[in-house]
């Protein structure tokens, strides 16, 4: 279910991203399928996450329609209608919360995103998120009370940003449940900037069996 949440992406993406444009990654907190209207254009392919690149910076008029089932019919329920402000050269990662408000999880420079998209580009520890930005991500994740929802949000952030292994180890400490610590570590392995240092995440596990489970998963 979690993998479906993150890989059914409604991508509107080109690799030649300009740092002068803006981008938006948006989802619904409860992982519902939705369609969206952005600046009067309808994106009607159902998805759980949508990414919009090469947008003009400034206010974007956004409507999010959650898809609901009623018998054999599919209904669209508007759960958000309003403006989202995007900054030039920045990817804004956010979600619609359970109170139908838009919340920002993280931001990332599009120049970094472009580097990561280049085929064959090696991962480099110098690319990982700055400390001040990382602290903002942690603060936003802490604000999500339910750990299952927090895990989903963390995986979204991990898949759309660059973290080092030490930062993933810190993120794991946000979860009291050991299985969720293993889950975020397992998910983050393919995205970290320094996989050769991934052993650092073991410091955030509490039980010998957890170490064995993580080793088996990342082989």
122-133 pLDDT, tens digit each:
344 347 888 888
CB < 8 Å & 24+ apart, contacts of 41-46: 43/10, 43/12, 45/10
Q: Please say if the pLDDT value at position 216 is more than 90.
A: no
Classify each residue of 99-110 as buried b or exposed e, where b means 16 or more C-beta atoms within 10 Å of its C-beta.
eeebeebbbbeb
Q: CA 185, CA 195: separation in Å to the nearest integer?
A: 11
Same-domain pairing of 114 and 129: no
Q: Please say if the pLDDT value at position 183 is more than 90.
A: yes
H or E segment to which residue 183 belongs: helix 178-188
Same-domain pairing of 11 and 69: yes
Domain end (from 96, 121, 146): 121
Check residue 199 and give its pLDDT. 80
E strands, 176-218, are: none
Domain end (from 121, 142, 174): 121
Check residue 50 and give its pLDDT. 83
- Span 168-177, mean pLDDT? 94
- Span 182-204, mean pLDDT? 88
**Rg (Cα) of the chain, in Å, rounded?**
18
> pTM of this prediction?
0.53
Q: CA 92, CA 39: separation in Å to the nearest integer?
A: 16
CB < 8 Å & 24+ apart, contacts of 98-101: 98/29, 98/30
pLDDT band at 217 (very low <50, low <70, confident <90, very high): low
Q: Which residue has the higher pLDDT, 203 or 101?
A: 101
Same-domain pairing of 159 and 117: no
Domain end (from 97, 121, 145): 121
Count structural domains, the chain: 2
HEC sequence for 11-64:
EECCCCCCCCCEEEEEEECCCCCEEEEECCEEEEEEECEEEEEEECCEEEEEEE
- Span 12-35, mean pLDDT? 69
Q: Please say if the pLDDT value at position 187 is more than 80.
A: yes
Q: Which residue has the higher pLDDT, 121 or 74?
A: 74
Question: Quick one: tokens of 70?
Answer: 């009623």
Same-domain pairing of 102 and 143: no
Check residue 111 and give its pLDDT. 57
Q: 115: domain range? A: 1-121
Same-domain pairing of 9 and 84: yes
């Amino acid at each position: 279910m979690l993998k479906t949440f993150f890989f059914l992406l409604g991508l509107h993406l080109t690799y030649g991203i300009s740092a002068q444009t803006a981008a938006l990654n948006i989802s619904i907190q409860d992982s519902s399928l939705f369609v969206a209207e952005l600046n009067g254009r309808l994106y009607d392919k159902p998805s759980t996450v949508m990414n919009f690149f090469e947008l003009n910076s400034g206010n974007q008029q956004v409507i999010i329609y959650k898809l609901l089932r009623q018998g054999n019919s599919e209904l669209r329920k508007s759960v958000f209608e309003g403006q989202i402000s995007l900054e030039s050269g920045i990817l804004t990662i956010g979600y619609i919360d359970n109170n139908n408000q838009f919340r920002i999880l993280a931001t990332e420079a599009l120049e970094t995103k472009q580097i990561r998209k280049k085929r064959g580009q090696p991962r480099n520890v110098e690319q990982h998120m700055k400390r001040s930005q990382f602290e903002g991500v942690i603060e936003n994740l802490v604000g999500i009370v339910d750990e299952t929802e927090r895990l989903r949000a963390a995986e979204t952030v991990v898949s759309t940003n660059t973290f080092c292994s030490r930062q993933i180890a810190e993120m794991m400490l946000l979860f009291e449940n050991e299985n969720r610590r293993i889950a975020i570590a397992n998910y983050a392995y393919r995205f970290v900037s320094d996989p050769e240092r991934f052993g650092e995440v073991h410091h955030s596990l509490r039980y010998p069996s957890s170490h064995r489970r993580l080793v088996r998963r990342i082989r």
